Structure 1
Amino acid sequence: MKNIIRFVLMAFPAIVMAQTNRIQAHDPVMIKQDSMYYLFCTGMGISMWSSVNRVDWKKEQPVFAGISNWVLQELPTFKGHTWAPDISYYNGLYYLYYSVSAFGKNTSCIGVATNKTLHPSSRDYHWQDHGKLIQSVPNRDDWNAIDPNLFIDENNTPWLTFGSFWNGIKLVKLDSDLVSLAKPEEWYNLASRKRDATLPDSLPGNSAIEAPFLFKKGKYYYLFVSTDFCCRGLKSNYKVMVGRSEKLAGPYVDKQHIPMMQGGGSLVIAGDSTNWAAVGHNSVYSFDGKDYIVCHGYDAKDNGKPKLIIRELRWDSAGWPLVE
């Protein structure tokens, strides 16, 4: 863990939290290099923003100028946004995991790109796309290869958690190069919601669970997920749920000890209908002695547009997260 910097940020006073809510962003993740903060979001080629103060953001060029050749080979009809990036720094390189998918289908792939620097002005700035890491195929797989999140365990072993709808959230061990799967492959099921078994594999159904993010605090691994529906503007009902386990591979249970593999999960943050129609796709960070949750919300006062939300996390006496 010492060699990895996970989305390092500075402390956010209340006024900054209010102002960052104005940033329009979907599935945001952040990281700091030197004195510059970078924001990566779902968008054409992966949207990228920079800021020196986390308040005033400058739009940078997308990570990818166009659709990669490997994507066109694997998903010939792909024309949409590149989804749900995940950014980390490890052993001298920045690793950016991302999703390409047909919306509402498990015709999906997770890819990974690396860069020596995130400063676009640097002569070393160049994204090397390593191509496909994981792929899901309709009528073959009952899982969906989107929403990746890298986690480095206490033994410096890299893992990737991912997944959406179908039979839920997965965990797979990566090779030490972080751009390929470890051999022999190790796969685990972390969370799931009941799905109509009569549906064909190509349809997601109503088993809405996605966007996993793993976070270690004390003796527990916490699995944050988003449930219910995003991407519907004011009709969205996205919310963030959590479970925990003393083992990375689970089983994860909620406050009532209901396993997340059986639909369990305790509420962390949701829409309030007045300010946010819905809130979801979160990540969690520790810095400066405090913990924070970063996610997007559908702005109830701005026609349901997705906006960046940053809030402090506190922990109750039993060790469960509470939103400040």
Structure 2
Amino acid sequence: MRFAKIALASGLAALALGGAAIAQQAGTATQATLNSRLTGDLTPTHDPVIIREGDTYHVFSTGHGQRLIETRTSQDLVHWTAGAPLFNAIPDWAKKAVPGTDGMWAPDISFVNGRYRLYYSISTFGSNRSAIGLFTSKTLDPKSRDYGWRDEGLVVASTPADDFNAIDPNFIVDRDGRHWLSLGSFWSGIKLFELDPKTGKPLQPNAKPVSIAQRPAPAGGPAPIEAPFIVDHGGYYWLMVSYDYCCKGVNSTYYTVIGRSKSITGPYLGKDGSALMEGRGTIFLRADLQEQQRFRGPGHAGWLRDKDGKDYVLYHAYDRQKNGAPTLRIAPVRWGADGWPVAEY
């Protein structure tokens, strides 16, 4: 019996040590996530996009007042430093197009024909009297002699007579070399405009946009969908959109879904074949597990395909431990055996 007790005690000790080792490994895995290691100036970041120039990563996000388009830079994707805003005044044409606006929202950044293109939104909350404008610059480095943003003016506008809202732009060049701008928030959903490659503006100014995602509105209620971003990977175009509500701090219900299509104009379908044109798709980013509940409302996703071929998704979420501050979040993306992306966040 004595030997049996010793053996039992040894077994329990080994089991406890094993459990501790597993717990330690789990903790190590949590610590190893990119999101858990982000430091520096992470807030306030709302509607972020990212691009790399040389050895520097640049993040641009929504700005208000005299801080129009917030900026952040990093050398390693981990340590972030806030910079001066890109602009401190809204262009005159934009103030006339959208009276009462006080911000430049949801920028999009790309490098096209030797210049960086920065698309941005002008609007007022809850209205579709909106406009998307364009600035361009040869470089993103404020210390360079070639640095300077040129106002290219209006790209797309919407009014209460339209069934869409001209905010949340995202630019992409398809595999045939055609240029496109997706956009949209609420109303009848996400639209796609073909662009003139030289100007970055609609190829046919009066052309009707293509609808690529929408949420059927419930009786007497809105249909929250916005923030499109299209990625080209593996023979498919992947469309990310945000569902439900942002901008409510820890009460935000935002989450991100994704669908794919062989054609840039759709139809975009989730993993189960459900259509984004029916307000469905596959969940890609969601809030933390209920037992954690720290980062709420993850959405308005952007994408980085780094020079080493690795993919990252970045987005904002509201930090419950910091009074709901909109916070920069970045996660590596792993492409599964089934060909679908998994955000490791």
TM-score (norm: length of structure 2):
0.83
Residues in 2 aligned to 1:195 and 1:98: alpha-carbon distance in whole angstroms: 27
- Match in the other structure for 1:29: 49
1:292 is aligned, of 288, 304, 312, to 312
Deviation for aligned residue 1:228:
0.5
Residues in 1 aligned to 2:74 and 2:340: alpha-carbon distance in whole angstroms: 32
- Match in the other structure for 2:5: none
Kindly provide the CA deviation profile for residues 176-226 of structure 1, in whole angstroms up to 9, marking residues without a partner as x.
Answer: 12432102736210000012587xxxxxx5200100010111121111001
Deviation for aligned residue 1:249:
0.2
Residues in 1 aligned to 2:204 and 2:52: alpha-carbon distance in whole angstroms: 32
- Match in the other structure for 2:330: 310
Kindly indicate whether residue 61 of structure 2 is the aligned counterpart of residue 41 of structure 1: yes
- Match in the other structure for 1:154: 175
Matches within 5 A, 1:76-87: 76-79=99-102, 81-87=103-109
CA distance change for structure 1 residues 53 and 323 in 2, over 3 Å: closer, same or farther? closer
Kindly provide the CA deviation profile for residues 152-187 of structure 1, in whole angstroms up to 9, marking residues without a partner as x.
Answer: 011221100010111100001000124321027362
CA distance change for structure 1 residues 150 and 225 in 2, over 3 Å: closer, same or farther? same
Kindly indicate whether residue 184 of structure 2 is the aligned counterpart of residue 163 of structure 1: yes
Matched residue type, 1:115: S
Q: Secondary structure at the match of 1:57?
A: strand
Q: Which runs of 5+ in 1 are unaligned?
A: 1-12, 199-204
Q: Secondary structure at the match of 1:71?
A: helix
Kindly provide the CA deviation profile for residues 100-119 of structure 1, in whole angstroms up to 9, marking residues without a partner as x.
Answer: 10101111100010001111
Kindly indicate whether residue 38 of structure 2 is the aligned counterpart of residue 17 of structure 1: no
Contact 2:50/2:302 (CA < 8 Å) preserved in 1?
Answer: no
Residues in 1 aligned to 2:239 and 2:182: alpha-carbon distance in whole angstroms: 10
Deviation for aligned residue 1:98:
0.3
Kindly indicate whether residue 153 of structure 2 is the aligned counterpart of residue 131 of structure 1: yes
Q: Secondary structure at the match of 2:322?
A: coil
Kindly indicate whether residue 296 of structure 2 is the aligned counterpart of residue 277 of structure 1: yes
Deviation for aligned residue 1:30:
1.2
Point out the more displaced range, 297-306 or 17-26: 17-26
Matched residue type, 1:137: T
Residues in 2 aligned to 1:246 and 1:257: alpha-carbon distance in whole angstroms: 13
Residues in 1 aligned to 2:340 and 2:54: alpha-carbon distance in whole angstroms: 32
Deviation for aligned residue 1:284:
2.4
TM-score (norm: length of structure 1):
0.89
Matched residue type, 1:107: R
Query: How many residues were matched structurally?
Result: 304
Kindly provide the CA deviation profile for residues 77-115 of structure 1, in whole angstroms up to 9, marking residues without a partner as x.
Answer: 222x21000000112100000001010111110001000
Kindly provide the CA deviation profile for residues 116-161 of structure 1, in whole angstroms up to 9, marking residues without a partner as x.
Answer: 11111122211111111101101x1110000000000112211000
Contact 2:39/2:78 (CA < 8 Å) preserved in 1?
Answer: no
- Match in the other structure for 1:3: none
- Match in the other structure for 1:322: 342
Alignment root-mean-square deviation, CA: 1.8
Kindly provide the CA deviation profile for residues 46-83 of structure 1, in whole angstroms up to 9, marking residues without a partner as x.
Answer: 1112233333333322212211111111112222x210
Q: Secondary structure at the match of 2:148?
A: coil
- Match in the other structure for 1:264: 280
Contact 2:51/2:304 (CA < 8 Å) preserved in 1?
Answer: no
Residues in 2 aligned to 1:228 and 1:36: alpha-carbon distance in whole angstroms: 33
- Match in the other structure for 1:250: 266
Deviation for aligned residue 1:294:
0.9
Structure of greater Rg: 2
Contact 2:50/2:304 (CA < 8 Å) preserved in 1?
Answer: no
Kindly indicate whether residue 236 of structure 2 is the aligned counterpart of residue 214 of structure 1: no
Residues in 2 aligned to 1:321 and 1:186: alpha-carbon distance in whole angstroms: 32
Residues in 2 aligned to 1:15 and 1:320: alpha-carbon distance in whole angstroms: 20
Residues in 2 aligned to 1:290 and 1:57: alpha-carbon distance in whole angstroms: 19
Matched residue type, 1:47: E
Residues in 2 aligned to 1:168 and 1:95: alpha-carbon distance in whole angstroms: 24
Q: Which runs of 5+ in 2 are unaligned?
A: 1-30
Deviation for aligned residue 1:16:
4.7
- Match in the other structure for 1:232: 248
Residues in 2 aligned to 1:130 and 1:291: alpha-carbon distance in whole angstroms: 30
Residues in 2 aligned to 1:18 and 1:173: alpha-carbon distance in whole angstroms: 39
